[in-house]
Amino acid sequence: MAVLVKKVELSLLDRSYVWPIAKGMVITLRHFLKQITTPTNKRFTIQYPDMKKPMPAGYRGLHELKRFEDGAIKCVACFMCQEACPARCISIEAEEFSELNFTQGFEEKRPSVFKIDMLRCIYCGMCEEACPKDAIWLRGEYELAAYDRLSLNYGKWDLMNTYAGLDGKLQVGPAQESPATASRPVSA
Amino acid sequence: MFLIFALITILGALAMFQQKNVIVAGLCLVLTFFGVAGLFLVLANPVAAALQIIVYSGAIMVLVLFTIMLLNSHEEEPAIKARPIQRWVGALLIAIFGAFAFRIVAGSKALAAVNDKALPVEGMNLNRVGEELFANHLLGFEIIGLLLLAAMVGAVALTKKEL
Amino acid sequence: METLAHLTGMSVVTIWTLLKVLLVFGFIMAVAPPYTWVERRGSAMMQDRIGPNRALLFGKWQILGLGHALADGIKFFFKEDIVPPHATKRLFWLAPLLAFVPALMGFAIIPFGRSFVYQGSMYHLSLLDPGNGMGMLYPLAIGAVAVYGILVAAWSSNNKWSILGGMRSSAQMVSYEIGLSLAVIAVFMKVGGYDPADIIKDQMAVGWFVWRQPLGFLVFFTCMFAESNRLPFDFAEGEAEIVAGFHTEFGSMKFGLLGLAEYAHMITASGLITTLYFGGWSVPFMPDAPVLLTILAFMVKLLFFMWVFVWVRWTLPRFRYDQLMFLGWKVMLPLSMANLIFNAWLMSRGG
């Protein structure tokens, strides 16, 4: 069955074109005036490198390795995340340590190496789910690009410090653990 | 001034005949029209100059070039060798026409007026053209209008298959 | 000015003319690049975008993207100047000039301010003094010639799309010129003269022609768009169907000149609309405005119409070719004729 397209009958006013054109001009003028009077930071367009959209709370971007208040790492190197990771991008090496710290309790194990290959990671958040200590979570940072593959192999201190800088907290630890830390600008 | 414009006119016309390329020849003809318009300006007749440019270079030559472009774009016509007799006849005709044109110009009242320094040179303007056209030459004007109308109707009748 | 005349050994009139030429052409050349900027930013604003704003002046100042106009100019100058191998070379070189020069010349007749008397001699603020006998026929003639730039550009680049664009554009220009001329003739008739000075004086005395002949204004306005090859009548170009039309093969400064010609054309067209229908340099309700104020009034009107050109471009979609011909021959021509006959009838009744 064919679809009957009803032909739109234009009124005389519409067929004269003058009035519809005037209407159209008014519409564009309205948009123009509205846009030109809106300050730049309130326009629809987000001028990306200068302005950034705040990410929603549940956004899964770059991981952060959480710390205690005194700056010590929360991770206990239990390898749960490494096991849970479907992309197998996390590699952990554990080490013993025996400093007694009352905020942490009596943990005796911590990661000496905690690497996430960001090129492999699929940002699924399974590590976050698997972690028994809430020591890893995925946050809003999404500018993950580099000129070579190695610098996207994020180490322990990268993961701990990236957000510390953003949150205005103290960055603790050797800053030059990997070249990535130095080359990646922490945008404000 | 006169020499410049006359040279433009004549050189444009000569270049037009020399060109093998039809479009370039057409552009040379436009140049000639400009020269003629300049000559009108020298004769204190800016109206004729403006009309020359509007009508000839602006409308007619555009249409001619349009048609040429529609028909063949870039073919250059091979020059046809003229026979000696054609050349002689051509030269003769040019001489005859030149003589007649010279006689007409030399015998015209306008030239006498130009030579007569007592008459003030009055620039032509559109108002005078209009008065002349509608007061003194109304019949001719109407007949030309009718003729053009007939030509237009004829052209439409020729080109349209079903009317 | 007398000292200058004395120093250079030229007459005051020559100096004054030279000054005006410099002023007007300098104005057009200076306004064209910012005009491209207005076009781009304006279109962005109308579409709720931001528009070009990344080019920095000396790597520092972002001044709303004005650097883009400058950068474009620099780019045009330093790009490789390519002539396609099958182009007709001499015409290919000539074409941008043929487009650019008439576009500039048209402005010469437009008075941009009140004539004034200074130390006993009269100074006119237009390149061609009033009473030269050409009057408003001059811009019509120049406008008629302007099509050659496009035609020659199209033909010499030996490209199918270019030729298509050039042919469409020439057919369009010829069609719309008739409506344009007839609309202008109605103005001449009412004024009883065709000198821009007379037309402005009449409008100062009686009223702007846009109120007295709205139909004529409509026709003239539309035809002016068609004459300057401007959207919605940009049939010489048309990215969707014929690539870039007549300037497909052009690059570097040749393309720049063709673009400048378009903008110069728009400026001239705005000047014509202002002079013919909006009272030229006259200031409303001020018959004896000072000279500078008249120049200012003219500039305001001119800039407004230049803006209208941009405004219309980003509002209306393009026509189809048959619609263009329909509009030109079956709407604009009868409308302008009706306007002419109606006005003649009014005048015959002593109106």
Q: Which of A18-22, A127-131, A172-176, C282-286 has the highest mean pLDDT?
A: A127-131
Touch B-A: 3+ C-beta pairs under 8 A? no
SS3 A101: strand
Which pLDDT score, from 0 to 100, does residue A176 have?
A: 44
Pseudo-torsion of CA C145, C151, C156, C159, nearest 10°?
Answer: 170
Whether C351 shows a pLDDT value over 70: the answer reads no
Residue A51, CB-side half-sphere exposure with 13 Å CA sphere: 9
Whether B149 shows a pLDDT value over 90: the answer reads yes
The residue among C311 and C82 whose pLDDT is bigger is C311
Q: How confident is the model at residue B78 (pLDDT cuts 50, 70, 90)?
A: low
- Residue B50 contacts C, CB cutoff 8 Å: yes
- Lookup result for tokens 């020298």: B42
Which pLDDT score, from 0 to 100, does residue B80 have?
A: 63
Task: Answer yes or no: are the C-beta atoms of C247 and C153 closer than 8 Å.
Answer: yes
Q: How confident is the model at residue B151 (pLDDT cuts 50, 70, 90)?
A: very high
Which pLDDT score, from 0 to 100, does residue B148 have?
A: 93
Residues of chain C positioned with their CB less than 8 A from the CB of A22: none
The residue among C128 and A20 whose pLDDT is bigger is A20
CA C190 vs CA B127, C180, C200: distances in Å: 13, 16, 12
Instruction: Measure A18 CA to nearest chain C CA, in Å.
Output: 9
**Per-window interface: C 291-320 vs A, CB < 8 A:** 311-312, 314-316
Share of chain C above pLDDT 70, in %: 95
pLDDT digits (tens, 9 = 90+) for B5-15: 888 888 888 88
Say yes or no for a CB contact (<8 Å) between A32 and C45: yes
Tell me the β-bridge partners of A61: none
Nearest C-alpha neighbor of C99 from the set C320, C212, C256: C256
Q: Which of B20, B22, B27, B64 to mutate to test the interface with C (most CBs of C within 10 A)?
A: B27
* Residues listed for chain B: 163
Domain boundaries, chain C: 17-78, 89-348
User: C326 is written with which tokens?
Assistant: 């329909």
First to last CA, chain A: 62
pLDDT digits (tens, 9 = 90+) for C177-230: 888 888 888 888 888 878 888 888 888 888 788 788 888 888 888 888 888 877
Q: Would you tell me how many other CB atoms lie within 10 Å of the CB of residue C6? A: 10
Q: What is d(CA A97, CA C325) in angstroms, rounded to the nearest whole number?
A: 88
Task: Answer yes or no: are the C-beta atoms of C255 and C247 closer than 8 Å.
Answer: yes
- For all residues of chain B together, what is the average pLDDT? 79
Q: Which residue of C has its CA nearest to A24?
A: C315
Q: How many CB pairs under 8 A join B and C?
A: 84
Q: Which of C93, C105, C161, C170 to mutate to test the interface with B (most CBs of B within 10 A)?
A: C170
Structural domains of chain A sorted by starting position, each given as residue range(s) with its CATH number in brackets: 63-183 (3.30.70.3270)
Q: What is d(CA A77, CA A89) in angstroms, rounded to the nearest whole number?
A: 15
The mean per-residue pLDDT over the stretch A68-82 comes to 83
CA C8 vs CA B77, C1, C3: distances in Å: 54, 11, 9
Say yes or no for a CB contact (<8 Å) between B27 and C152: yes
Provide the CA C41 distance to its chain's centre, in angstroms. Answer: 21
Q: What is d(CA B5, CA B19) in angstroms, rounded to the nearest whole number?
A: 21
The mean per-residue pLDDT over the stretch B136-159 comes to 90
- Under 8 Å CB-to-CB from B21, ≥6 apart: which residues? B76, C88
Instruction: Please give the DSSP secondary-structure letter assigned to residue A111.
Output: E
- Is there a cis peptide before residue C111, judged by omega within 30 degrees of 0? no
Q: What would the 3-class secondary structure string for C278-338 be?
A: CCCCCECCECCCCHHHHHHHHHHHHHHHHHHHHHHHCCCCCCCHHHHHHHHHHHHHHHHHH
**Per-window interface: C 159-178 vs B, CB < 8 A:** 163, 166-167, 170-171, 173-174, 177
Q: How confident is the model at residue B145 (pLDDT cuts 50, 70, 90)?
A: very high
Task: Answer yes or no: are the C-beta atoms of C135 and B123 closer than 8 Å.
Answer: no
Say yes or no for a CB contact (<8 Å) between B50 and C140: yes
Q: Which helix (H) or strand (E) holds B93?
A: helix B84-107
pLDDT digits (tens, 9 = 90+) for C144-156: 888 888 888 888 8
pLDDT digits (tens, 9 = 90+) for C1-17: 666 666 666 677 778 78
Residues of chain A positioned with their CB less than 8 A from the CB of C47: 31
Beta-sheet strands, E only, within A4-161: 63-65, 90-96, 109-117, 136-138, 153-154
CATH number for B1-80 (one of 3.30.70.260, 3.40.50.2300, 3.40.50.410, 1.20.120.1200): it is 1.20.120.1200
Instruction: Measure C183 CA to nearest chain B CA, in Å.
Output: 15
Helix residue spans in chain A (DSSP H)? 12-15, 18-37, 80-84, 126-130, 156-167, 179-183
Q: What is d(CA A14, CA C112) in angstroms, rounded to the nearest whole number?
A: 38
